[in-house]
Structure 1
C-alpha cells in the first residue's frame, strides 16, 4: 500500500515522527512535508508541493496539525483520507488557552471548521477513547468516524539508563507551560514540600505561561525549584535519567487535560522511571494505579505532595511501577505495535476500494 503523508506542523514534531515511523512498518510512505517555522509560508509551500506531486498513492494520511490540509487534500484527490486530528482547535484556542471567546464570531467559525474537516475525512484518528467520546459530543459527529491510536514512544531514543543517585530526591517535569499541563499545581506542591530539604524539583521547558509560573514560584518564595529552561529533544533522556520521580501529568482539570495522555508520560515510562500522572479518564484507559504509574487527583497540589512522599518513602513501590510501566509500554505501545494498529486502520479504509 502506498500512503501519501502530509502534515501541517514540522515532521520533526514528536507525534508526526512516531506516526511516520509506524506507517513505514507496513506501507510505502511518500512524505510531503515542510520544516519551515512560519505557519502560513509552510502551508503555501506544502500546497504547491502537493499540486506538483504525481506519484500514485492509495491513501492520504494527514498528520498533525492538519485541519487546513484536509480541506486542500479533499480538493486535490478522491482517495480516502485518514486524519490525525490529535487536538480540537476550538478547545485549544477557546477553552484551554482562552485566546478567543467561544461564542464570538471567530470562535463559532473555528468550531464549524473543526466539524467540517472531520466530516471530510474518511477516518479521524485521536489519541484516547476519552478524546474520541469528547469529539463525538462536542461536534455532534458519529462515533464510527473515530479510531484510537495511542501515541506510544520512540524506543530508540527513550530506553532505560542506570538508576540515579539516591540523594537528592529529584522530581522532574518538562513542558511548554500550557494551561492544560497545570504546572501551577507542581509549584504549589513544591512549596508544601519546602520542609523536606532532600526533595528538589527540576522543571524544564519554556512556553505560553512561563513568566506567570516563574512569578508564582517567586511570590510563594519557593527555594526548591530549579527552572532549567529549554532542553533539546535529544538531551531529554539525560535529564529524565537523573530523576528519582517524573511527573507525567496532566495536572489541570480542564476538559482537554482530562481527555489526553501526556506525551512525556510514555517517554518517562519508556525509560523505566517511576511516574506520577493525573487521575483522568484517559490515563485510566491504559494505565493501572500502583502497577504502571502512581495517580493523583487533578488540580490538587496536596494530592501530588502525597504521591511524591509515598514514592520517596517506598523504594520497592518506585521500582515496581517503573518496571511495570516499562514492560507495559514495550508490550503494547512500541513503534511496531503502533504500526500494526495503524495498518489495521489503513486496511479498513482501503478495503472498500479494493472490493
Structure 2
C-alpha cells in the first residue's frame, strides 16, 4: 500500500478573499483527475471524504493543516470547515491508462413527521451506476442551521455557529472510475463471509446515535440518517461498521476472504495534546506492512475522542463514547487497516523507534 496523496501547502489568504475562492463542488474531483493524469504510475485504490477546520493566523489570513493529527472543536462560537478528497494509492499496472474519477452523491429522502423532536429519517435506495464503482461511503453534512434548511450535500466549504441548534444528515458518496459501463448495483451488507457473488468496495466505521426508548431501553440508531448537534445537549454514540458491496454485473468476482482482521495505527504521542504528523504516522504504517507482509483489504481514516488520561491518547477498546455538553473537545486522527486473513504482530525491535514523550518535568517513552 502506498501513502495517501498529499496536497501542496496552502497559500494563506484573508477571510474576505476566501469568500470568493470557495471551489465549486466538481473542482475537488477535477483537481484529483488532473493529479492522476500527471501521475500515471499510480492508481487509486480507495477514496474518502475528509474535513478540516479553517484557522486564523496572527496576520488575519486563513490556513488549514492536513498534516496535523489533532483537531480542536470549540464549544461555542463561529467555525468554518473545508471538505476535501483523500486518495489511497497503489502502483499502477505498467502501460495502463491514467484513471479518471467520477462522483455521485445520494441524499436520503425527507419524511415529514408530526412530532418536531423526533429525528427525520431517510432510506437510501439501491441505485445503478454506469461505471465501475471504486468506493462507497457515508459522509455527514449540515442539513439545518437552527430551523432554516441549509442542506448542500456538495458544498466544499461551510460554516457553523456552535451557539445555535443544528442538524446534520448522512449522504452516500459513490466514487467510480470513468470508462465502460459496469452495470453494477450497490447495497449495504452485514457480514463479509456472507457476500457471495458480490464485491466488497468499502468497510467503514460509523458512529451511531445511542438513545433511550420509551421503555427506557438503549437503542443504537444504525438506520437513522439524522442527528441533532447542540452545545447544550449531551450525545452518546456507538462505534459500528458498515460493509458496502456491489453486484458483479455479470462479471466474475474474486472470492471474499473468510476472515478479516484490523490494525489501528495511532499517531505517536510526543507530549500533552502533541502527536506526530500524518506523514510520520504513514511512514510507520508502511514500515509495519513491509515487515509483516500483511495482505491489505481496506483502509480508512478514523477520528477518536482525545483522552489525556489514556497513555495512547484515546480509548481504542471502547465501543461507545460520550460528547459532553458545554465542553470543548479534541479529536485524534488514526489510520485503520483491514487485513485479509491472519497476521503476526512483529517484535518492537523490528520497527522504527517510537518518538519520546516529553513532559514538563522530564521525558518517558510510551510504547
- The TM-score bracket by the shorter chain reads under 0.3
Structure whose residues are more often strand by fraction: 2
Structure whose residues are more often helix by fraction: 1
